[in-house]
Amino acid sequence: MSGSTYGTQFKVTTWGESHGKAVGVVVDGCPAGLPLSEEMIQSYLERRKPGQNKYSTPRKENDTVVIESGIFEGKTTGTPISMRVVNQTQRSKDYSELASLYRPGHADYTFDQKYGFRDYRGGGRSSGRETIGRVAAGAIALELLKQLKITVTAYTKSIGTITIDYSRCNRENIEKSPVCMPDLEASRQAEEYLKQQMEKKDSTGGMVECIITGMPAGIGEPVFDKLDANLAKAVMSIGAVKGFEIGSGFQAASMNGSEQNDEFCVDEMQRVQKKTNYAGGILGGISDGSEIIFRAAFKPTPSIGQLQNTVNNNGEAVPIIVTGRHDPIIVPRAVVVVESMAAITLVDMIFQNMTSRLDKICEFYMK
Amino acid sequence: MSGSTYGTQFKVTTWGESHGKAVGVVVDGCPAGLPLSEEMIQSYLERRKPGQNKYSTPRKENDTVVIESGIFEGKTTGTPISMRVVNQTQRSKDYSELASLYRPGHADYTFDQKYGFRDYRGGGRSSGRETIGRVAAGAIALELLKQLKITVTAYTKSIGTITIDYSRCNRENIEKSPVCMPDLEASRQAEEYLKQQMEKKDSTGGMVECIITGMPAGIGEPVFDKLDANLAKAVMSIGAVKGFEIGSGFQAASMNGSEQNDEFCVDEMQRVQKKTNYAGGILGGISDGSEIIFRAAFKPTPSIGQLQNTVNNNGEAVPIIVTGRHDPIIVPRAVVVVESMAAITLVDMIFQNMTSRLDKICEFYMK
Amino acid sequence: MSGSTYGTQFKVTTWGESHGKAVGVVVDGCPAGLPLSEEMIQSYLERRKPGQNKYSTPRKENDTVVIESGIFEGKTTGTPISMRVVNQTQRSKDYSELASLYRPGHADYTFDQKYGFRDYRGGGRSSGRETIGRVAAGAIALELLKQLKITVTAYTKSIGTITIDYSRCNRENIEKSPVCMPDLEASRQAEEYLKQQMEKKDSTGGMVECIITGMPAGIGEPVFDKLDANLAKAVMSIGAVKGFEIGSGFQAASMNGSEQNDEFCVDEMQRVQKKTNYAGGILGGISDGSEIIFRAAFKPTPSIGQLQNTVNNNGEAVPIIVTGRHDPIIVPRAVVVVESMAAITLVDMIFQNMTSRLDKICEFYMK
Amino acid sequence: MSGSTYGTQFKVTTWGESHGKAVGVVVDGCPAGLPLSEEMIQSYLERRKPGQNKYSTPRKENDTVVIESGIFEGKTTGTPISMRVVNQTQRSKDYSELASLYRPGHADYTFDQKYGFRDYRGGGRSSGRETIGRVAAGAIALELLKQLKITVTAYTKSIGTITIDYSRCNRENIEKSPVCMPDLEASRQAEEYLKQQMEKKDSTGGMVECIITGMPAGIGEPVFDKLDANLAKAVMSIGAVKGFEIGSGFQAASMNGSEQNDEFCVDEMQRVQKKTNYAGGILGGISDGSEIIFRAAFKPTPSIGQLQNTVNNNGEAVPIIVTGRHDPIIVPRAVVVVESMAAITLVDMIFQNMTSRLDKICEFYMK
C-alpha cells in the first residue's frame, strides 16, 4: 500500500485531494546545479490549466506554484524540491449530493471498496488535480532533459473519430490549435466534433502521440525495466488512459517480420541508423538512438450531463446527472501530463544507466 | 542499473543467458504454507517449451526445473524459492558468426551500445529463454491465486490477419488448438497462414488476450501503482510486445462517454455490478470486482531466413540471413508468459492492498 | 541519489532546509480510518521544539504544523498525508559569513564535495530542522501503534559522564525531567554538568535508550531486513548518532554463550517467555514478543562557541567561532526523534509481515 | 514480506537453507567489464569456510562456488550474476530431534511464530550458511572497489575479554593469526581464552573492526540513506551482531564538542584533511575522504554443549544440550562477511552518488 511515489533514482511523490487545502509534489533525486524558478514550473502548469478555451471547464483555477525547498540562489541544490499549489475551489456543496452515489466511469465505488469510505468532494485523490504534481515534477524532468539536448513533444493525435493527417502536420501548430492538434484542418474538424458532443451533453475520447528526440542509445534495462515497459506504466498511470503502444504498436500484430524488422545502415557521419522505425526507437527494452514514438488512448471524460443509471452505497438503484461543467474531452489538457510522465521516466532511466559500464564509472570517479 | 527484479512484496529476480550454464529465478516473498512441487512448476514450463508442434522451433530443450530452496516437506517456508533449469544447448558455433553483426529487430546493437560488448550467443540475456524464469515464478503466483479463487486465462486472439470470433470461442478449446486459439476455425486458418509465412521464410505477429476472474474489488493503488499501469509494465516487459490495452482499449479513443461509462446496478444477491465492462474490470486503477480483460500486441519473430541488410560493429554494411530454425510466431508460446506476468502483478498488488484499512490491520493482529 | 524517503509499505519523505520557506513531510501508506488531527501531531512536535528550557537554544520557533491532505472528517483516507511547518527564522544574515567556511563536526565540507555548492544558511538540509518532518511522520506511526497496543518510549540514558541508575528510574519522571531522564537525581546532576559545559562554551554527548512494549512475535524479515538491522538504520540516520546497540549490545562481545542465551520458559498463561532478555526482544531479526530495548549514542553538538581551527573553500586556514546560541546537548530534544524513527520502522515491518503466511492471507480476503 | 534482497543500484539477493540442495546469490547491477572468475570468488569464500582451525567447526564443507550467468569471456556482461554452492551436508538426522524444541539464542521460536512452521534442519534459512551468498556477492563488490582504489579491511578487535593493542597491530598479521587478530600477542591470548571456553562447553563473543581507505569524499545521501546508516543496517543484518558504532562511537556520548569535533586543515598537496578522525570518515552521512572506521559487536555462538532449559512447541519445559560441534566464536569467520556487507553498501552508495551533480551527468553523456 502506498503507490504515490514514482521512480527509483529520480523520485516523484504527489499528494493532495481536489478539495483539500492544497496539492503538491516532492521531487527527490534532482541533481544539483539545474537553474530552476517558479516561473519555469508555472509555464508548464499553464498548459494543463482549465478554462483556457471553450472545450475545457470554465472553472477558474489560479494554479500558482510555490517552490518551498531545494533551490538556492536560482539553482537546485540536490535536495528534495517541494512544490505546492493551493486549492482555491474548496466549496464542498457542489459535491455533497454525490457522497453516497457511485458515478459511472469514476473511481467512487472502487475507493469505497478499498478504503471503506472516501473523500467524495470532487473526486478526492482520483481527481485530475492530482496531475498538477505530475506536471510540476515533469517540468523539472523536462528541464533536465533539455540540458542533455533531449526533447519530448506530445500532441493530440485524434479526438473521437477525427485523426490528424501526418502530411499536414507541423509541430509549430500544436500551440496554435486549441486542441493541440498539429494538423490545423483536423483541429477545426475536432472542434466541430466537440461542439456536437457538448450539445448532446456527451463527451469523447482521443489519442495522444509523443515523440522523443535526442535520446542517446543504450538507455533502458534489458529485462523488467525495459524503457518501453516503464513508459507504458508511466502513461497508463494517468487516469483515463486505456491503451499504450510504441512504434508500430498494435499494427505489429498483423505485420510480417520482413516488414517490422528495421534494417540497419550507416549514415554519412558513419553513425549506425535504422532505415525505418517500426521499433519506435527501442530494441530489447533499450533505446537505439532514433526517435522514440508512442501513443496513448484516452477514454471519454466520465462526467457527462446526461441521465445515467447507477446505485448508491446502500445498494439502491438511483438515477444520476453529473452537474457542474466538465471538459467534453480530457486529451488536450493531458498532453502536458503525457510529456511529464515520459520525461520523468526518461530521467530515471538515464540516471540508472550511468552504472552500466565499469570503464565509465572509473572515468567518472578517478580522473 | 539492474532491472532484473520485479515486484515489491512478491519479488521475482530472473537470471541467465541463453547459452550460459543455466537460467533461473529467485522468488522472494512467497508466503509460507503453499503446497508446491517441481511437477507443478514443470507443468507450466511445458506450455512455453519449444518443439511442441510444427510452428515452434524444433530445438529440443528438456527444460527440467529444479527447486533448490524455500520448500520443506512439500510446502513453501516463506523464504526465497530458487528455481533453475540447466541449458542443454550450450554449443556456441551456430552463433559465432553473429558476434559482430547487428540482426535487424534484435537487441544486438542496443546491448553493444549499453554495455560496450555482449554475450552474442543466441541472444544472451535478451533471449526468449529468460522467460523460463518468469514462467517458473508465474507458476507460483498462479498457484497462490488459485488459493484465493482467482483465475488467469490467456489465449491467442489473433495471428497475423486471422482473429478469433467470440461467438465461436470456448475456453476449453485453448488446449486443443496448436496455436492456443479458443476458436477452432480461426485456429485452422491461422495454421494455414503460418504455413505460408514459413514458406516465405517470413514470420508474423499476433495478439494475446487475458481474462482474470474472481478478483476482489479494491485491489490496486490509486496513483502511480494503478493495477492497470502495473499490468501494462509487466506485459510490456515481455520481449516483442509493442502494445497493451485494457477493456475498450484503443477503441475508447473514438467512443462517447455515454457509451464507455459502465452503469452500475445491483444483482439478485444485492452485489454491486456493472452492466457492461468497457472499463475492463478496473476503475481509477483499482479492481471493481468484475472480470479484468486486457490485450497485448506481439511483433513478428525478428529472426527470419530471408536476406536482410544490416551493419556490423565496424560500421560496414553487410547482408545477413539468420540461419537456424526459429518460430514463425512467438504468440502461442508467449500465452503462458502473459499469464505469468499478470499473476505476479496481481499477487504483488493483492499483498500491497492488505494495509489499506486500519480496521482490517487491527483485526489481523489483535483477534 | 535521493535518499529522502524511508520505508517500503509505510513511506516517509521529508523535505526542506532550515532557512527555506518551510519544512515538511509526506506520509504515503497510512491506512484509512486512523483518527488524526493537527493537535495530535503538534503535541509530538512540542517535544522537539527548541527554547523549552535553558539547555536548548532560545531561538523562538513556533513550529505549527498544518495537515494539507489525506484527512477527511477527522480520519485518514488512505491517501498521502502532507504536513508542513513554515520556517519563521528565514533571516540569512547570521549565516552568510559561514558561506565559505567548513565548520568542524558539520556537514559543510561534505555537502560541498558532493554537490559542488550548498545552501549554507543554518545547515541547510543537514539542519536539525529536517527532523520536524520525521517527528510529524513519527506521530502518525505512534498513533497507529497505539491502535495495536504497542508503546514506544525513549528517554535520556546518559549526558556526558552522568548515567541514569535503573533502580531510581520511573518512566513517569521522563516528562518531569528537563533533560528527559527518568532518574531525577541523575537529571539534576546532568543539569549541573550541562551548566559547566555552557560556561566553557563547550557541548557534550549522551545516550538515548528506547523500550518498545506490546510487540507481537513474528515481526521482522529474517535476512537483510531484520527488525534490528532496520532499527539500526533508522536510528543511525538521525544526525549526530555514532552508535546503535540492541539488548546486551556491545557487552555481548565479552559475554559467554551460557550468559547471553535467554532460556525459554512458559508463563502462568501458557505463553512462551524468555527468562532474561539479553537478546533485546529480537531473535534472528524477528521480534520474539518480549520488550525490545535499544540504545543510541549521540555525539556532542558540533556548534560550540570556542575558537576552532578550520579551512575555507579556498583551502586557506582560518579560525572560527560559531556564534549564535546552540543547544549544549542534542539528546533531550532527540528523544522524540528516536521514538519517531523507531515507530516508523515498526509500522513498516508490521505491514510487511502481513503476507508471511498463506492461511492468514486467505482468511483476510476470503471470509 | 521478503527481505532477501539488499541494495538499490547494486542488488544482492541470497537464497538457500543450510540443508537444502544449495545456497546461492544473484547479483544484479554489476557493471559490464569487470574481470571475474570462480577462482576469485572462491578465494573470498575460503576465508569464511569452517574447519580451518581448531576454533571453527570441523565439519568439512567443500564450498565450491559455480558462476552460472553474467560472465562472458572472463568479464562481467552487466547482466545478473548467479552464483551457487551445493550443500554437501544434507543429512537431516542430526537435527530431527530439534524439530519441536526452541534452542535458546536461536531463531527457532521466532520462525515458528512468523511462518507457522519451519525448516528445522540446521537452522534453515537463519543458518550461517546464508552468508555464503553474502560473501560471494561481497567478493564482486570488493573487486569493483579495487578498480576504484578503495580497500576494505576487517579484522578481529576483541574476543571475549581479550582486545588488540593498536601499538602492536600490523595489518599483515591478520592472515597470520588463526583468529584474524592483527596483534599477534593478543591473538595468542585469545586462542588460550577460546580453549578455556571450549573446555567449559561454552562460547564467547567478540568485536570486528573495519577500515575503509581510498573513499572519495561526497559518497552517501544526506537524510535517510546516510552512508553510516546504511553501513549500520548492512552490518546489523549479519546474524549475531548486537551493536554497531562508527568513529568515536559510543565513546562520543561522554565526550565534549571541543574533543569530538575534528578540525580541518590543508595538507602539503593542498587537499583538505581532518586533523583527527572521531567522525570515522563520515560527516552528515557523507564520506569526507578520510578513512572510514567502524566496529561491530558479535554475541557468543548460541549453540553450546551445556545443558540449557527451554520449551518445546507444545509449551512444555524441556532440557536441551545442543550436540554437534560448533564454533566457540563466530568472529574470525565473520570478518570476511563484515567486509562483504560493507563493500556491497559502498558500491551501492558510490553508484547512487553518480547523479548528484548536473554538470557531471552532462559530462558523462555529452562528451
**pLDDT tens, residue by residue, C244-271:** 999 999 999 999 999 999 999 999 888 9
Distance, in angstroms, between A32 CA and closest chain D CA? 5
Q: What does the pLDDT read at residue D1?
A: 53
Average of per-residue pLDDT across D60-86 = 93
- Residue B319: all three cell numbers together: 547482408
User: Is the distance from CB of D217 to CB of C113 less than 8 angstroms?
Assistant: yes
Q: Give the span between the Cα atoms of D344 and D27, in whole angstroms.
A: 10
pLDDT digits (tens, 9 = 90+) for A196-253: 999 999 999 999 999 999 999 999 999 999 999 999 999 999 999 999 999 999 999 9
Q: How far apart are CA D167 and CA D179, in angstroms?
A: 18
Average pLDDT score, chain A: 93
Query: Residue D92: its pLDDT value, please?
Result: 53
pLDDT of residue A94: 60
**pLDDT more than 70, % of chain D:** 94
Q: Is the reported ipTM for this assembly greater than 0.95?
A: yes
Q: Of the candidates C79, C148, C361, which has its C-beta nearest B365's C-beta?
A: C148
Q: Which of residues 94-133 of A touch D (CB under 8 A)?
A: none
Confidence category of residue C55, pLDDT binned at 50, 70, 90: low
Tell me the C-alpha distance between A235 and C263, whole Å: 56
Listed as ranges, residues in chain B with pLDDT below 70 are 1, 50-61, 89-95
Q: Concatenate the DSSP letters of all residues of C329-366 into one string.
A: -SHHHHHHHHHHHHHHHHHHHHHHGGGSBHHHHHHHHH
> How far is the C-alpha of D27 from the C-alpha of D48, rounded, in Å?
19
DSSP-derived letter for residue D331 is H
Nearest to B17 by CA among D67, D64, D85, D144: D67
Return the partners of chain B (3 or more C-beta pairs < 8 Å). Answer: A, C, D
For chain C, give percent helix, strand, coil, nearest 5. Answer: 35, 25, 45
- Domain housing B329: 5-366
Chain B contact set for C31 (CB, 8 A): 355-358, 360-361
A292 pLDDT above the threshold of 90: yes
Specify the pLDDT at position B54: 63
Q: Is B360 on the interface with C (CB under 8 A)?
A: yes
Going by the DSSP 8-state scheme, the letter that residue B304 receives in this structure is -
Q: How far from A239 is each of A83, A140, A302, CA to CA, in Å? A: 21, 21, 11
Burial D79-90 (b: 16+ CB within 10 A, else e): bbbbbbbebeee
State the total domains in chain A. 1
Q: Is A54 annotated as contributing to ligand binding? A: yes
**Cα angle for residues C124, C125, C127 (degrees, 5° grid):** 70
**CB-closest option in A229, A288, A300 to B110:** A288
Residue A187 phi/psi, 5-degree rounding, is -60, -45
**Chain B CB contacts of C356 below 8 Å:** 31-32, 78
* Angle, CA D48 vertex, CA D43 and CA D52 arms, to 5°: 95
- Grid cell of C324 as nine digits: 549564535
Nearest residue of chain C to residue D205 (CA atoms): C253
Q: Is the pLDDT of residue A310 over 90?
A: yes
d(CA C53, CA C178): 7
Residue A314 touches chain B, beta carbons under 8 Å: no
- Cα–Cα distance for residue pair B62/B74, rounded to 1 Å: 24
Ligand-binding annotation for A60, yes or no, is: no
CA distance A274 to A261: 9
Cβ pair A63, A45 in contact under 8 A: yes
Instruction: Quote the minimal CA–CA distance from C113 to chain A in Å.
Output: 12
User: pLDDT for D301-338, tens place per residue?
Assistant: 999 999 999 999 998 999 999 877 778 999 999 999 99
Contacts of C116 in chain A (CB under 8 A): 32-33
Query: Looking at residue B212, which CATH number applies to its domain?
Result: 3.60.150.10
Q: Which three cell numbers stand for residue B188?
A: 485452422
Q: Is C198 on the interface with B (CB under 8 A)?
A: no
Reported as a single tens digit per residue, the pLDDT across D243-277 is 999 999 999 999 999 999 999 999 988 899 999 99
CA distances from B271 to B43, B266, B268, C329 (A): 36, 5, 7, 61
Per-residue pLDDT, D365: 97
Residue D52 has a pLDDT of: 62
Lowest mean pLDDT, pick from A315-324, B88-97, C118-127: B88-97
Residue A126 annotated in ligand binding: yes
pLDDT over 90, % of chain D: 85
The three cell numbers of residue C76 are 485518514
- Greatest distance between any 2 Cα atoms in chain C: 72
Best of D355, D357, D359, D363 to substitute, by most chain A Cβ atoms within 10 angstroms, is: D355
pTM above 0.95, yes or no: yes
Whether the pLDDT of residue C1 is over 70: the answer is no
The tens digit of pLDDT for each residue in C300-355 reads: 999 999 999 999 999 899 999 987 777 899 999 999 999 999 999 999 999 999 99
Q: Distance of alpha carbon D135 from its chain centroid, rounded?
A: 8
**Of residues D111, D232, D249, nearest to C233 (C-beta):** D232
Q: Going by DSSP bridges, is the β-strand pair D151-159/D282-283 parallel, antiparallel, or unpaired? A: unpaired
- pLDDT the model gives residue D141: 98
Evaluate whether B181 touches B164 at the Cβ level (below 8 Å).
Answer: yes
pLDDT digits (tens, 9 = 90+) for A56-108: 665 556 899 999 999 999 999 999 999 999 998 655 556 677 788 999 999 99
Taking all residues of chain D, what is their mean pLDDT, rounded to a whole number?
Answer: 93
pLDDT of residue D97: 74
Task: List the grid coordinates of A57.
Answer: 471547464
Among C32, C350, C359, select the one facing B357 at the smallest CB separation.
Answer: C32
pLDDT at C92: 53
From the list C107, C218, C283, which residue is nearest D284 (CB)?
C107
What count of CB pairs under 8 Å joins B to D? 160
Rounded distance between C-alpha atoms, residue D277 and residue D213, angstroms: 13
In this structure, what C-alpha cell is assigned to residue A282? 527501442
Encoded amino acid at A307, one letter: L
Name the grid cell of D20. 537444502
Task: Give the whole-angstrom CA distance, residue A360 versus residue D31.
Answer: 9
